[in-house]
Amino acid sequence: MRELPPELFRHWVHSREEDQGDVQVFRPPDFAFPPSFGRDGFTMRPDGEVIKDDVGPADGTVQVPGRWDRPGPGQVALRFGGVRPDYAFTVVSIDDDRLRIRLESSNPTPENGASAWQLGQRDRIRAFRAHRYVLIVAEGQLPSAGHEVDIVQSPLRIFPQEFDLLSRALPGTRTDGVVPYRFAKVVRFPADQPIVTVHHADGDDRVGIEPSGEDLAHFVAVMPDETTGLARSGPVEATGMSPHLAFDEAFADALANLPSFTPPYPDAMSHIQGVDTGGLFGGIAGFHHLYVRVRRTSD
Reported as a single tens digit per residue, the pLDDT across 114-152 is 667 888 999 999 999 998 899 999 999 998 888 899 998
In angstroms, the CA 254 to CA 188 distance is 10
Residue 153: pLDDT band by 50, 70, 90 thresholds? confident
In angstroms, the CA 272 to CA 249 distance is 16
Chain centroid, CA 198 distance in Å = 13
In angstroms, the CA 186 to CA 214 distance is 18
DSSP 8-state symbol, 20: B
Reported as a single tens digit per residue, the pLDDT across 68-120 is 988 877 889 998 876 777 888 999 899 889 999 988 755 555 555 566 788 89
Reported as a single tens digit per residue, the pLDDT across 44-59 is 999 899 999 988 765 5
Task: Check: CB of residue 291 under 8 Å from CB of residue 224.
Answer: no
Reported as a single tens digit per residue, the pLDDT across 244-282 is 899 988 998 888 888 766 677 777 788 899 999 999 999
User: Higher confidence at residue 182 or residue 253?
Assistant: 182
- Reference 182, options 125, 223, 127; nearest CA is 125
Question: What residue ranges define each of the domains in the chain, with the CATH number in brackets?
Answer: 6-103 (2.40.128), 105-211 (no CATH), 215-299 (3.30.1660)
Please give the model's pTM, rounded to 2 decimal places: 0.66
Cβ neighbors of 188 (< 8 A, separation 6 or more) are: 82, 132, 133, 134, 257
Residue 231: pLDDT band by 50, 70, 90 thresholds? very low
